[in-house]
Every structure is written in C-alpha cells, then in structure tokens.
Amino acid sequence: MPAAEFYAALPALLETADTLAGPGSARDRLHRRWLRVEVLDRIGGKQFLELDEEARTELLHEIRKALSGRVSETAVAGLPVSRRVAVGLIEDGDQDSLVRLVEWENSIACRPTLTELSWQDDGTMLIAFGAQLHAADGPVGVTTDDGDDGDRHVLTPTGLPQPLLDRFAAEPLTGGASPDKASVVLVLRERSSGAEYRLVTESTVVRGNGGLEVTGSTALDPARAVAGSPLGQGVWDLSVRLNALGWTKSTRLGKVRAPEVPAQLTAVAHPTERTLRITPYWTNPHRDLSLRVEVPEPPKPAAAAPRPRGSRLLSRVARIVRKR
C-alpha cells in the first residue's frame, strides 16, 4: 500500500480513539501503540535506511501530515528516549538527523566480558561477567545532573552530531530506562530446540567515566539449570541479556574474556546422570562459551609399541634354527 494511502487512514483512527477514550491514560496507550507500530517501527530499521532519498522524503512527509497536532504530548512522553527524539525530528522535518539517529540505534549491541569461570566444590559453575551497551562509534554513555527535583539522567552517545546530542540532553531517562534500573541475566539455550532458560543472576550497576556497566554473576547448577531439572544431553549455549537505558540486547558470552579466565576448561561428571559428562568449551570460530553434555567415548586401546629391529632379527634366526 502506498505511504500516502496508508497514512491517510491514520488520522481517522486517532480521532476515533479520542472520541471513545477521551484525554487520559487509556487514550495515551492507544496513541503510543500507533506511534510504535505504524510509525516508529516503520522508520527504525534497515528497510527504512535502504530506501532512496525520494522514497524516504515521501514517507516522512505523509507521516508528518498524519500526526500533525493529533498525538498527545503525554503519549509521546511515555516513549523510550530515542523514540521521543525521533518523533521530534519527524515533527521538525529534520530528515538527515533522523537517518543518522536510525543508523546509530541500529548499531547498538550488548558487549559482555567474561571475568570468571570455575567449577565450585558444590558442583556448580561460577560464571561472572560485565556488560555494556555499545554503538558503532563507542559506548552509550550516560550523565547525571543534580536538580531540585532529584537526579536527572541523560544519554551522551558517542559519535553523534551536536544537534542530536542537544536533543538527547533535553530528553531525560525515566522509568525503566533510569540507569539504576539496569540489569543483566544469563540465558541458557538448548541448541537443538532453541528453548531458553533464564538463570538466577545477581546484577550490579557500575557507574564511572561517563559510562554504565552492569556486572552479573551466576552459579550454574547442572542438576537444576533447566527450570529446576538437570541438563540433558546435547549442546547448551550461554548468552547475556542486558536491559539498560531503554534497550534490551542479547549476545553470546565468552568471546571477550579477562586474563584470569582459563583457556583450557575442565570437564566434570554429570551430577545426576553418572554416565554423562559435562564439557565446557570455546566454540569455533567465534570462541563463545558452550557446554556439551554427552556420554564420553571409551578410551582407545593403546597401540602396540613397535619391536626393536634387533628383536625381529633374533626371531627370524630362531625360526630358521627350529626348521633345521
């Protein structure tokens, strides 16, 4: 459906919502839903970036016409900070800055560092790590200002032009995006089925040098790791899921490791299935951490040592003598 035809119908939907709900939280939820799904999701991905200049201009023109004066300020205020900035850029017709914002946000990823990995005396595997949000140009920074109404937190992205930085400075982090609400969880994934299991993870927010890191630690218990049940046969991958500053990002754990993490990992017997062995290993080629649970192969018989040359000569002479 052409952009003009699609967005021509949006004002009528917004007006219907206003008639039925009236000002208030219910109407704001409807407005935010349309903003997220029908507007921001359509301009927030690679498909938008792949449009040519003319198509992007037409799309943003139709969006701006549809939203003009129809979306409540309180609905926009409930969006994540980067999306509030995007709405402001749409309203102002700043297409170049909007494209730069979308490029930056699409580059954001979780970067974890494995800091400890060891088997404990109780049979659990201690896994400790730190995680940060990074974009292509550097970490997603955050600063805090002391104000009359309490601390005010704002994003300080690396690599963005000053006009975009000024927009972020005017949009404080609120609600679940506040730095102190950041958290991490270690996720165990069965490779064959894709089933995921969140492990109990203690997390701590660490602030310093304008950045934010969340550290986490988990005691992986092979007897109870799968929602209270033991690890089964197969390969299990480990990922970090970081929830911070309005984004939730996941990535595999292990590629980046502290010097204290051993290069050679130790296999152990399965705590409940004694015929199985649990072998932690680094994947190839990405060097991420995984666990293999399997029946170990029986040891191969030792190859017979070759007999010395002299002993073969003596055996030949002995056969000749016996024949005589």
Residue 265 shares a structural domain with residue 127: yes
Residues 185 and 261 reside in one and the same domain: yes
Asked if 137 and 210 sit in the same domain, the reply is yes
Tell me the residue range of the domain where 289 lies: 109-294
The answer to whether position 319 is within a domain reads no
State how many domains the chain has: 2
Is position 320 within any domain?
A: no
What band does 318 get if pLDDT is binned at 50, 70 and 90? low
pLDDT winner (highest mean) among 39-43, 148-152, 159-163, 275-279: 275-279
pLDDT digits (tens, 9 = 90+) for 259-280: 999 999 999 999 999 899 999 9
Do the domain assignments include residue 48?
yes
Confirm whether 232 is domain-assigned.
yes
What is the rounded CA–CA span in Å between residue 111 and residue 256? Answer: 8
| Model pLDDT, residue 308 | 60
- Cα separation, 203 vs 183, in Å, equals 6
pLDDT at 211: 82
Give 58-119 as a DSSP string: HHHHHHHHHHTTTS-HHHHHTS-HHHHHHHHHHHHT-HHHHHHHHHHHHT-EEEEEEEEEEE
The CA distance from 237 to 220, in Å, is 13
Question: Same structural domain for residues 125 and 199?
Answer: yes
What are the φ/ψ torsions at residue 69 (nearest 5 degrees)?
70, 10
Q: Could you tell me where the DSSP H helices lie in the chain? A: 3-8, 10-21, 25-34, 41-43, 46-50, 53-67, 73-77, 81-92, 95-106, 162-169, 309-323
User: Same domain, yes or no, for 63 and 113?
Assistant: no
Three-point CA angle 164, 67, 85, nearest 5°: 15
Structure tokens, 65: 């016409």
- Which of 39, 73, 106 is the last residue before a domain boundary? 106
If asked whether residues 63 and 162 sit together in one domain, one would say: no
Q: What are phi and psi of 271, to 5 degrees?
A: -70, -25
Buried b (16+ CB within 10 A) or exposed e, 172-199: bbbeebbbeebbbbbbbbbeeeeeebeb
176 and 101 share one domain:
no
Is 26 a member of any domain? yes
| CB of 226 closer than 8 Å to CB of 197 | yes
User: Does residue 316 fall inside a structural domain?
Assistant: no
Report the run of H or E that residue 301 belongs to, with start and end.
none
If you compute the radius of gyration of the chain from its CA atoms, what whole number of angstroms results? Answer: 30
Residues 154 and 76 in one domain: no
For residues 113 and 148, state if they share a domain: yes
Sign of CA dihedral 237, 238, 241, 242: negative
Give the mean model confidence (pLDDT) for residues 167-171.
94
Say whether pLDDT at 131 is over 60. Answer: yes
Are 169 and 279 members of one domain? yes
pTM (2 decimals)?
Answer: 0.85
- Least confident piece of the model among 60-64, 174-178, 201-205, 299-303: 299-303
| φ, ψ dihedrals at 11, nearest 5° | -60, -40
Cα 254 from Cα 133, distance rounded (Å):
16
Report yes or no on 308 lying in a domain.
no
In a domain, 307, yes or no: no
Domain co-membership, 159 together with 91: no
Q: Say whether both 286 and 178 belong to one domain.
A: yes
